[in-house]
Amino acid sequence: MNIAISNASDKPIYQQLFEQISAQILKGELENGYCLPPIRQAAQELSISVITVKKAWEALERYGLIHTVTGKGCFVAELSADRKLEIRNEMILKQMLLDTSYYKSFGLTLDEAIEMLKKVY
């Protein structure tokens, strides 16, 4: 597990965990079928609670990124590259919808948004 948890972040720990793991899965850094570490072990390694790990794993499962088997462990789902791309874009689009509503509230136009995007990217 290559995870960086920050207590300084404004995002809750389980959210950070979810985002980082899901990105790793969708980028193919974690292979299909890969067995995630047991929640107790992950919790200990990251110095966080089991519940927090569980919450992140649940979110991963809701998106179909992993499947869990009691007594065995949690495994990265068998997903095609195309399907992974779909899920990635769904996630990003969903977030972008929220982000742009903020921009729009200031009367920012699409062209202005693109200009700014180029500047910060």
Partner DNA sequence: ATATTGTGAATACACGATATGCACAATTTG
Partner DNA sequence: CAAATTGTGCATATCGTGTATTCACAATAT
Site residues (vs its own copies, CB under 8 A) = 19-20, 23, 26-27, 88-89, 91-93, 95-97, 99-100, 102-108, 110, 113-114, 116-121
Q: Is there binding between residue 65 and DNA (CB under 7 A)?
A: no
- Closest to DNA by CB, 63 vs 108, is 63
In this structure, the strands spanning 35-36 and 66-69 are unpaired
φ, ψ dihedrals at 19, nearest 5°: -65, -40
User: Sign of dihedral through CA atoms 100, 61, 86, 19?
Assistant: positive
- Least Å distance, CB 17 to DNA, is 8
- Closest to DNA by CB, 40 vs 104, is 40
Residue with tokens 């948004």: 113
